[in-house]
Structure 1
Amino acid sequence: MTSSYAYVPADDPLFGTITVELDHAAGRLVVDGDAIPRVDVRRAAAAPVDAQVPIGTRAPEALALAVGGTPVALRPAKGFLTRRSYRVDAGEGGAGYAHRLVPVSLGTSRLLHDGVPLGEFTSTGDGQVTAEWRAAGTGARPEAYDAAVGYALAAAFGTGAEPMWKLALDAALELWP
């Protein structure tokens, strides 16, 4: 991450201009736009900072998420040996979460709403986020709330992950004397 603060506008194909304000040092993220509700993600001041995570931590107890001013449960997984271990869940829904952002490639993560894929996000970890929504023929059309949460999760935690074999190799090499 080159700087600790970024103010990045994104042109979303369905929801227009969306701004992402990320302050890594302060542990604060704001996502806003004319067509979406405002989202705030905050890291507790006392939380240890992980430079690899844009918001600074993956510890659920050190994070708070609010959408449109309403608190929403936020549960990032620990992130270790599998892409799935880098998932982030937000809200409560039929599958125990309403929204899930889960890596599907080295740089991309998929946003699901109650298990239904809505689109894919790419974020470089510096506040820049792009979304590619699913084709209209799939029957899944994102709402403004979905877009707001997706942009916030992608900006706060980044997107994508290494393949499992690479993560396992890296973990094994860390243990090698």
Structure 2
Amino acid sequence: MNDPDRTPIEDTRFGEITVRQDGQLSLQVEGERIPRVTLERDPGSEADPQTAIGTRDPEHLTMRIDGRKVGLRPAKGGLARRSYRVDVEYDGARYRLVPDSVPSSRLTRDGAHLGDFSSDGDELVLAEWQEDAELRPADASVGYALASAFGTGGQPMWMMIADGVSSALP
């Protein structure tokens, strides 16, 4: 991974968490109180420079939590924020990370709001947990991995349309 001496992130609920990326090929999330996550892109697939992990195609991605392969389904991305959602199935739960503001994305488990994540698709990920959420260690593993691999946030559709119109004007 990029920096084996990377300073861990101090998560308010789960302590020290380390996120490491190896370019657009893989990433790893680990901490003493959370399950380890690895996310790998098939090295034979073409890398998309707009996505930190290099693709949103689930056929070219493998995610493991504590060594066990999990279901990962990133949406293709388009005009609407919701089109950038990423879904994960693990241990009987359905997780979703979906942009909900310009800088951040909301993490849910089975529809319950767990917290908000911010990341530019790099090793620096910030989590703000819901105070009343009943959290599990895997919640942090999934949230940090998805935020790092796919980045967070997105402009609202009206803002993207306005940008498109203004750039088309002389």
Separation of aligned partners in 2, 1:44 and 1:36: 25
User: What is the DSSP-based 3-state SS (H/G/I as helix, E as strand, rest coil) of the residue aligned with 2:140?
Assistant: helix
The offset of 1:125, in angstroms, is: 1.7
Task: With the length of structure 2 as denominator, give the TM-score of the two structures.
Answer: 0.89
Alpha-carbon RMSD across the aligned residues, in angstroms, is 2.3
| Segment drifting more, 163-172 vs 57-66 | 163-172
CA distance in 1, matches of 2:2, 2:47: 15
Q: Structure 2: which 5+ runs fail to align?
A: none
Contact 1:39 1:65 (C-alpha < 8 Å) held by counterparts: yes
- Aligned partners of 1:119, 1:166: CA distance in 2, in Å? 25
1:98 aligned counterpart, secondary structure: strand
Gap runs ≥5 in structure 1: none
- Report how many residues are paired: 167
Q: Where does residue 31 of structure 1 map in the other structure? A: 29
Q: Given the superposition, is the C-alpha separation of residues 90 and 174 from structure 1 closer, same or farther in structure 2, using an over 3 Å criterion?
A: farther
CA contact (8 A) 1:8 1:21 kept: no
- Percent identical pairs in the alignment equals 48
Alignment match of 1:157 (pick from 144, 150, 153): 150
Q: In 2, distance between residues paired with 1:92 and 1:124?
A: 25
Which one-letter code corresponds to 1:73 in the other structure?
A: G
Task: Within 5 Å, give how 1:1-177 maps onto structure 2.
Answer: 5=2, 7=6, 9-25=8-24, 27-91=25-89, 98-136=94-132, 140-169=133-162
Contact 2:122–2:149 (8 Å) recurs in 1: no
So what's the TM-score if we normalise by structure 1?
Answer: 0.86
Measured in 2, the distance between the counterparts of 1:75 and 1:40 equals 15
Between the aligned partners of 2:143 and 2:17, the Cα distance in structure 1 is 12
Deviation digits for residues 93-141 of structure 1, max 9, x if unmatched?
88xx7100000101100000011000000112221001000012xxx22
Residues 170/9 of structure 1: CA separation in 2 closer, same or farther (3 Å cut): same
